[in-house]
Amino acid sequence: MNSTQLQYFLAAAKFENFTKAAETLYISQPVLGRQISNLEKELGFPLFERSRKTVRLTKYGRMFEIFARETVERYEAMARTIQEELRQNSMTLKIGSVDGQLLENYFGPALKYAVEHYPNLHISVNYYPNTVKMLDAMNVGEIDASIAGDLGIATLQTPVEYKQIGVIRCCFAVPTSLPLAQKEDPTEEDFHAVRFILRSEEDSRTSRGLQLEIATQYGITDFVEVPNIATLTALVRSGVGVTVVMDNDELCFDPGIRKIYIPDGHSFEEYLIWRKDNVNPAIGEFCRVLDETKNE
């Protein structure tokens, strides 16, 4: 007997209808039926009287319902008590981010709120050269959670949970020293003569693929490949050429750079991601911070 079986039984007892109970539990009716049957076998007595059209609690089922409800309530109360005690103790959450992302521009309110309202929650931000290295660090326990988009989640092999932070969009980062930056409403043809700063495949296969897709769409043929995001940022700031980044990248907030959005989409959900088996209570605490900040 386990807590899941008790929850399933209580739902079936409430409705005396396996189909309705299964719908509220978001499982299939056969799965619910098997769990109830296994529970009855373990107990050694029937919980329900079944006919072709109806399901009714037996006398023993009604007696067991009282026990099941009290057990679940005590379990939930104990879990709340322990969680509250954990919250009162000092907690540390190590969050990973990729070099170049400016967390303060969409994460700032949550970080500030955590400092002001959750003094026992200590957040440490760690930067990595690319998404792969960041997620590897999360998988080995170097950090508790990562900030990544849809594309990052798609590469994961480890079971994870995640919480949406916001939406980020692709854009060109164009030095204001280039003629292209002076165009009020640049067309695809205006990009044909520009030099494009491209990330290497070794640095980030996903980002490089997205950059190539957009650059090809705009008819760009002049490419300079760089080994890492730091070199890319330096060359774009120096006016060597343009690149494609997400609009939370530090280049987008540089006064010497013009941000030109891709008009046909290329937007991605941004998430806080953590391993499903990570039991650090600071993760849940920070998720509450995100919810409370969003509601302000």
Give, in order, the Cα–Cα distances in Å from 92 to each of 165, 220, 291. 20, 46, 19
pTM over 0.95: no
Q: Domains in the chain, ordered, with CATH? A: 3-87 (1.10.10.10), 91-296 (3.40.190.290)
Q: What is the pLDDT of residues 100-158, one digit of tens each?
A: 888 776 678 888 888 888 888 889 999 998 888 898 999 899 999 999 876 656 666 67
What is the sign of the dihedral through the CA atoms of 95, 98, 100 and 101?
Answer: negative
Give, in order, the Cα–Cα distances in Å from 218 to each of 7, 55, 248, 282, 293. 56, 64, 22, 44, 39
pLDDT at site 88:
63
Q: Sort strands 91-98 and 145-149 into parallel, antiparallel or unpaired.
A: parallel
**209 three-class SS:** helix
Distance of alpha carbon 126 from alpha carbon 138, whole angstroms: 11
pLDDT at site 81:
84
DSSP state of 180: G
pLDDT at site 106:
67
- Assign 296 a pLDDT band (cuts: 50, 70, 90): low
